Amino acid sequence: MKLPSVPVPDLYVKDLTLRSPEGRCLLSIDHLHVAAGESLAIKGPSGAGKSTLLFAIAGIIPVSSGTLAWGDADLAQMSDNARTQFRRDSLGIIFQDHLLFEELSAAQNSSLAALYNRPHTRTNIAARARQLLHDLGIKDHDRPYVDSYSGGERQRIAVARALAADPQVILADEPTASLDRETADRLIADLTRRAKHDGRTLICVSHDQALLAAADRVITIQEGCISADTGRHRDTRGDNDV
Amino acid sequence: MFETFWFALPIWMQDLLVFLALLAPLFIAGLICLRGYRITPLLVGLLRRHRMISLTFMALIATSVAISASLIAQERGLRAGTARAAEKFDLVVAAPGSEITAMLAAVYLQPSALALVDGDTYIKIATHELVSLAAPLAFGDSWNGAPVVGTTDAFIEHLGDGLSTGRMFATIDEAIAGAAVDLSIGDKIAPVHGDGSAGAVDEHGFEYEIVGTLPATGSPWDKAILVPVESVWDVHNLPNGHGSDWDGTLGAPFAPEHFPGTPAVLVRAEALWANYALQSEFNTDPNTMAFFPGSVLAQLHALMGDIRQLMSVLAVTTQVLVAIAVLSGLAMLSKLLSRRLALLRALGAPRRFILALNWGFATVLIVIGAGIGLVLGIGATAILSAMITQRTNVLVTAHLGWPELHIVAGFVSFVAILSFIPAYAASRRPITEDLRT
Ligand SMILES: Nc1ncnc2c1ncn2[C@@H]1O[C@H](COP(=O)(O)OP(=O)(O)OP(=O)(O)O)[C@@H](O)[C@H]1O
Ligand SMILES: [Mg+2]
């Protein structure tokens, strides 16, 4: 069930600033490099700007100045349409508050990408979504309304949605927040395995110690700046060995 | 080249092609906008989630479509019905006056006071060499609200192309009932003077027995009771059209000196040209006025044509106003939906997908609403027709036809194109703000 994919690019961030519409500085990152295939965890106090950073990396929030590049493609220079296409082709995003479509079933939610992706990928996406739901332990995928699922189940449906198109890069905002320990551990193992074995890049915002421990590298965000960067550094351009 | 091809097509094919051409913008726009996307699951989800709003919008559109479609169909049905009711009245000769009043009285049996055509004039008409039927029509009495009209057996034969049951009246106290009169053979009636509405019961003390009934003609004559004209004169204490040596044989010939006058004479000639000749001859006679009810009606219809145009304009305006109301409602709704739309964009859905989803939502409401409107329109048309038939006794059978379908198709296409505006606006909303709220 392989989907056609572009090779995973590295992420380069340089002198990035991001301001709120009112002009308040929300993010200020001098330098960040995430190699392809690396798993990075982001932690920090509430309101520090972790979700904002994730949104910026996804090209959802336009940056105010600086460079934010996936490979050669600088999101800061790209049009809104091009950034959207980049998300469609390369990213899988798990949002902090799941953001599911209540009026759709679990199967429909997790295969949402099939609706707007190229027609020939549709069956693959839908089949992968079902397999993922199954692997993540979600039963009866066709219950008409997803809001009858528990918080943890909804979170897993959101995970299935993010992974259904087999993205090169997985962005996750607190993916284990509403899961019990056992389910959380399984998910962590699954996500990190994707990074290690399938060469996917994984960037997670989390407070979950297990996730932080499983990640190749942990950065801490405080008041919009990176205050700490620990773990196996692979900070050289083009260096791809583990 | 095109014209010869076009006019060679059967009418229904032309209508169908016009209908499809009017819907073409909808299909082309839809094809361009939806190409490559599957919006159905989200669309069904949205319709389910916002079913009250969706149903309200559909009901609004359905109502406006139903009203305008049935009004236009009704007007057409009314024209056809009134024309059909006048079919048997080739030429009417009356005393000079208003043609419309005379037509309303003679053809549609509306009570009115007409001057009389005198005996000499009547005989002149009846004995004219071109005339094959000259029937006096004497109004003024009624029974139970049904007009009682004095005439001759020849006219009754002509009106109904024969009787449906029973036989023709043979004596002065026999009568023929119209198809819609609640009387059967053997029933006895005693007519009163006037249309019976004033409540002043002024019985003549004269009884008729029903001996036959007419088939339905779809005209007010279905509600009439037809009696020998002699009896009408008789009960009003007038000479009965025949001399003292009368043997009781009803109908022509009448004696001019015993002919008390009649408000109208129905005249028929075998040949069409002869009818025109008779009309101009009796019109130049200072004692008479002759007219074709069909052409008086055509004048009335021409007048109504202007009203119909006005009505069409009003109908279309109403539809457009409703559509605009619905579209602004949808624009507001898409604010409600903004978080979902932003989420889709955040996940990587292209702008055109958001546009397609919004447009599809609006278009589904419009198309379903218009469809329900047409069905309602068919029902409303049937009910209105029945009501008009009930009130005027002019059989109106209005059906939704191509003109209504064309208007609705044009409306649907127009609004579908219009709904790109809110859909486009929704697709341009910033993602971040909508995602955070
Ligand atoms: N569009 C915006 N306008 C103004 N302020 C904003 C905007 N977006 C985010 N912020 C502010 O930026 C700060 C960082 O928000 P962010 O959501 O990134 O925090 P976080 O680190 O993810 O916190 P948490 O752990 O609670 O999720 C917050 O103070 C938030 O109020
Ligand atoms: Mg957050």
Asked whether residue B47 falls in the same domain as residue B144, the answer is no
Tell me the pairing of strands A217-222 and A65-70. unpaired
Residues B122 and B223 in one domain: yes
Do B351 and A81 lie within an 8 Å CB cutoff? yes
Quick check: is A94 in a domain?
Answer: yes
* Interchain contact, B41 vs A104, CB within 8 Å: yes
Shared domain check, B46 and B136: no
* pLDDT band, residue B203 (cuts 50/70/90): low
Residue B1 lies in a domain: no
Our CA angle for B189, B192, B195, nearest 5°, is: 115
Structure tokens at A90: 């390369």
**Residue B28: inside a domain:** yes
From A52, A96, A208, mutation site for ligand 1 pocket: most ligand atoms within 8 A of C-beta: A52
In a domain, A158, yes or no: yes
Residue A238 in any domain: the answer is no
Atom of ligand 1 nearest to the CA of A44: 21
Give the integer Cα–Cα distance in Å for B378 and B382.
Answer: 6
Alpha carbon of A62: minimum distance to chain B alpha carbons (Å): 9
Residue B168 and residue B310 share a domain = no
Where a domain ends, among B229, B262, B291?
B291
Ligand 1 proximity of A48 Cβ (cutoff 6 Å):
yes
Question: Does residue A234 carry a pLDDT above 50?
Answer: no
How many structural domains is chain A composed of? 1
User: Does B308 share its domain with B278?
Assistant: no
Helices B351-392 and B40-49 cross at an angle (nearest 10°) of 60
ipTM here: 0.89
Ligand 2 centre and the CA of A51: distance in Å? 4
Q: From CA A144, how far away is CA B174, in angstroms rounded?
A: 75
Question: Chain B closest CA to A219's CA: distance in Å?
Answer: 24
Domain of B201 in residue numbering reads as 91-291
Q: By residue range, what is the domain housing residue A226? A: 11-231
Residue A149, SS3?
Answer: coil
Q: Is residue B373 part of a domain?
A: yes
Tell me, yes or no, whether A3 lies in a domain.
no
Does one domain contain both B172 and B286? yes
d(CA B22, CA B144): 52
Cβ(A109) to ligand 1 under 6 A? Answer: no
Q: Look at residue B405 and tell me whether its pLDDT is greater than 70.
A: yes
Residues B363 and B414 in one domain: yes
E runs forming strands in A36-87? 39-43, 65-70, 73-74
Same domain, B275 and B134: yes
Boundary (domain end) residue, out of B245, B263, B291: B291
What is the rounded average pLDDT of the residues B73-93? 85
d(CA B242, CA B250): 9
Instruction: Examine the fold and report which residue of B235, B256, B291 is the final residue of a domain before the chain moves on.
Output: B291
d(CA A84, CA A77): 13
Do both B40 and B64 map to the same domain?
yes
Number of separate domains in chain B: 2
Query: What is the secondary structure of B285-311 as a DSSP string?
Result: STT-EEE-HHHHHHHHHHHHHHHHHHH
In this structure, the answer to whether residues B37 and B174 fall within a common structural domain is: no
pLDDT confidence of residue B368: 95
Q: Which tens digits make up the pLDDT trace of B278-312? A: 888 888 888 888 888 888 888 888 877 777 778 77
Same domain, B77 and B226: no
Q: What is the CATH number of the domain that holds A159?
A: 3.40.50.300
**Which stretch, A63-67, A143-147, B161-165, B307-311, has highest mean pLDDT?**
A63-67
The answer to whether position B249 is within a domain reads: yes
Q: Are residues B317 and B390 in the same domain?
A: yes
Is A28 inside any structural domain? yes
Under 8 Å CB-to-CB from A122, ≥6 apart: which residues?
A114, B38
A46 lines ligand 1 (CB under 6 A): yes
- Residues A167-209: tens digit of each pLDDT: 999 999 999 988 889 889 988 988 888 788 888 899 999 999 9
